[in-house]
A and B are shown apart, each in its own frame.
Chain A
């Protein structure tokens, strides 16, 4: 809890000072930080419970409620209901006392509040200096008196002191200059503007690397118009929130996996809707590594196709980020998991994560192996994110009435197919889109509840195979495209 106390002496009788301060809606007439103020719902400014809604001269709107007003004690108490500045549980009291020794007035302004971690000093200075002391000086000036003498706090001199809520935050991030290879990504200056309606501003702590980031970068999916910031997944801390954001508070740890791209940045202002508040036992790096891939695994195994005990399932790229999760979760559901991998090291990794039959696709024909393992039956479902190189052969590995789920094309676009030929197996083919399974807060909640529960119960071990500094994102992309990564890769701002 932060406590701010500021006090001064005004060379004027208490009744004169109280006459200026008593009007809860009158601060726009004397306080320089307040542009205009009105009382909501047509109430009077001295009705306890009334709410003043006001705009700051610097931009941003606040709502404050009158909790207590005492003419006898020359004092009132109020709290913040909504603010672009992350002052949490803010309650303030302004009180006057007469100085009988000379006709003067002692004025004290104090408050208690919480802030996001690390913002305590800067926000205490902001409140004490830009609100309270600025108010003192304005009232003194109205009585023709000089401003108070006071030592500047070092925090006030720091550029961040006035920041949260008021201004854009300068930061760095990765910008895709034009569509192309990893080299089109550059470390650049970015701005995280104050959050608007329905928005929050985050300080990222870890960013997830996904194959969709490659498609964002090379333009295969038209997700950004260069220059633009890629990245669909990250975890971090909520710095401040805009009007109309509910269920998320400054200081919350959150994660997301959603469109639009923009995660490759130190700070980000974005819609609050699809953010998930992280449980205490889910760390930031884990969340950044697991959100998009884990949510994908959840809907691939439970929604696109409902995997049942005894099913044989084939997972391509079984040692990749989503692959390892599909292997573990598939086995936990009672399926026999067969996987394709590119190296013996990846085969070991896949096996350690529940893949009963890792197939080295470079050495063995995976369709033949699948038929051997399933005694000629084929797989109930094939999860194929490889695309061009595997799609038709994946169909060959299907059982009758099997389900081919194509959820990516790491090897390139899939050639047009004549689905009439699928009659030979009555095959079902799906091309799920992440966004269509995760477009509402309730869908995201339902998916992440099951995902976090699976992590908590040890069903899913999320393998963070690689960590790169965010500014080396291009190198991470090269490794991902060259199939050099295993498990999840995260980028650290």
Chain B
């Protein structure tokens, strides 16, 4: 099992950042590598079990299922159903925690998955640095942060 953990500090209160990322269907609004997204079956995006079907700007298609969503913890987790990445048993969690000093947000994005051992390092780099850190960098541009 490969584990990936990325964390950052976003210079905005957690409720504001959460409002931007809570929508499971809103990745294209804030994440730079996502082209479009829809929720399958006409379900609401905050319905646990719903599936987001989205396309990357470079052409890949992914289907991810919402596993948990907590407005109390500012967090959601999801699994990958289909992707071109070559991962299995992939679950990930995105979570915000208020930083009371300075009224900022501590953002964590973590994942666990199985893959071919030879590809583990490359995938961890792609997911942790590309997808997760790429998302945080976009949020920091949107809200400020360092």
What is the interface of chain A, defined by CB distance below 8 A to chain B?
5-9, 97-102, 104, 106, 108, 128, 133, 136, 148-151
Contact = CB atoms under 8 A, between A and B. Distances in A.
A146 to B, nearest CB: 11
Instruction: Please list the 8 inter-chain residue pairs (A to B) with the smallest Cβ-Cβ separation, ordered nearest first.
Output: A148-B101, A101-B8, A8-B101, A106-B106, A7-B99, A6-B100, A100-B7, A99-B7
B97 interface: yes
A402 to B, nearest CB: 75
Contacts of A128: 100
B45 to A, nearest CB: 27
A7 B101 contact: yes
Contacts of A9: 9, 99, 101, 104, 106
A133 B101 contact: yes
16 contacts: A6-B100, A7-B101, A7-B106, A8-B100, A9-B101, A9-B106, A97-B108, A98-B5, A98-B7, A99-B8, A100-B8, A100-B128, A100-B133, A106-B9, A106-B99, A133-B101
Contacts of A106: 7, 9, 97, 99, 106
Given A8-B101, A98-B5, A99-B8, 6 more contacts: A7-B101, A8-B102, A97-B106, A100-B5, A106-B9, A106-B97
B54 interface: no
Contact of B97 (A98, A108, A136, A149): A108
Interface string B103-138: 110101000000000000000000010000100100
B98 interface: yes
Nearest to B99: A7
Contacts of B106: 7, 9, 97, 99, 106
B6 interface: yes
B92 to A, nearest CB: 15
Contacts, number: 62
Interface of B: 5-9, 97-104, 106, 108, 128, 133, 136, 146
A195 B103 CA distance: 38
Contacts of B108: 97
A7 B9 contact: no
Given A99-B106, A101-B136, A106-B106, A6 B7 contact: no
A149 B7 contact: no
Contacts of A5: 98, 100
A102 B98 contact: no
B102 A148 contact: yes
A150 B100 contact: yes
Most buried by B among A7, A128, A133, A149: A7
B101 A150 contact: yes
Contacts of B9: 9, 99, 101-102, 104, 106
Nearest to B6: A100
A99 B6 CA distance: 7
A8 B106 CA distance: 9
Contact of B7 (A97, A133, A136, A150): A97
A104 B106 CA distance: 11
Nearest to B132: A100
Contact of A7 (B7, B97, B133): B97
B101 A136 contact: yes
Nearest to B10: A101
A239 B32 CA distance: 56
Contacts of A108: 97
Contacts of B104: 9
A108 B98 CA distance: 9
A149 B8 CA distance: 19
A485 B80 CA distance: 83
Nearest to A147: B101
